Structure 1
Amino acid sequence: MSFKFKTKCLALFCTVLIAEGVQAENCRLSVSQPRIDYGVIRNESRAESPLLALGKRRVQLNVLCVEPSAIGVRFIGAADGQGYLFGRQGRFRLALLQAQVDGRVVEWTLAHRPGETADGQLLPGQVLVAQAAGKRLTAQVEIDTDLPTSALQVRSQTVLEGQGRFELVSPAAPLSR
């Protein structure tokens, strides 16, 4: 099945904005690239499916602590339960991959289920906690963005954005909303 779009001057500017430089207690979080730009999408693109994948992008997440600490991370942004909103109809999902604490490979647990390993998917409302304490955490943040092809049916230039921020969470502290 192919879709034909009647609008000739379609241009979508697609961007995911991620806040960086968050600080908590004796730790500081930074992201290598706070803005992911998917560029312009024109309606000449013919989609064979009802969903248009904009592709996966990766940025580096770093947490540096003065003292060895338990490190928990969450993402705060407009969400729909399965991911974070991208424009009105799209969604982006986050995964923390290749995590290391002080140079050693580490797995994630969910803050509300200590001891149970997690796959690194950073879902809305969840806190991922590194299973080992340390001074330095590094991880690749994979951002996977898609939107329904119906979102391409616009009459003029349209900007689509997804926004949010990473937050450090002390696993011993209660979660703020």
Structure 2
Amino acid sequence: MKFEEFRKGMMPRSAMALALTLVLSGCASINGVSLLPQGGEPRRGQAVLVYGIQAQGEWTAPRWGVSLDEYDIEKERITGNCWRFNRTTADVASVASGVQYFAFNVPAGHYVFSGFNLPQVKAPLAFVVPQGRTVFAGTFVYTNEGQVEIRRDVEVARQLIQEQLPGVSREIEIAATKSLSVAPRAFLCGP
């Protein structure tokens, strides 16, 4: 068999194997959250979740990000799995800079600072995100001490939020919180 015949026969099989691996590993999970680049109103049955990110300390990678995961407050765990995983994800340059705000259309419920984030926050919180409302979780700041600090003063943030996300409701309110007895844990997907 010539190399060219071998290569042509292997390419479709390789592509099929790659697709099957991605599906079985959970990389193709469904996320019911969508980014609202300019802000916006909640879709029917959903809510808008807004938060800021700022790097003050020096993070070792080019970007520093924050994910908030949908959380089952009764079962004390992230609601996601390898097939369906509702989460917000945003990142900023890891050099010291101003706050950047992000808005997401999310299913109403509870959201937590993800177990996939590094470093973790000292006191884990669940943010309450009620249906039909626009709520501010806070500004997640990576500090010079290498810690994550959550600043939750919506009045301080309101003007910058309106400048960066003009479609966000002026009725934005601070998200209520619930303390968690255990920190959210990441889950692992594999074939």
Under TM normalisation by the shorter chain, which class is it?
A: under 0.3
Specify which structure has the higher proportion of strand.
1
Which structure's CA Rg is the greater one? 2
Task: Please report the TM-score for the alignment, with normalisation by the length of structure 2.
Answer: 0.26
Greater percentage in helix: 2
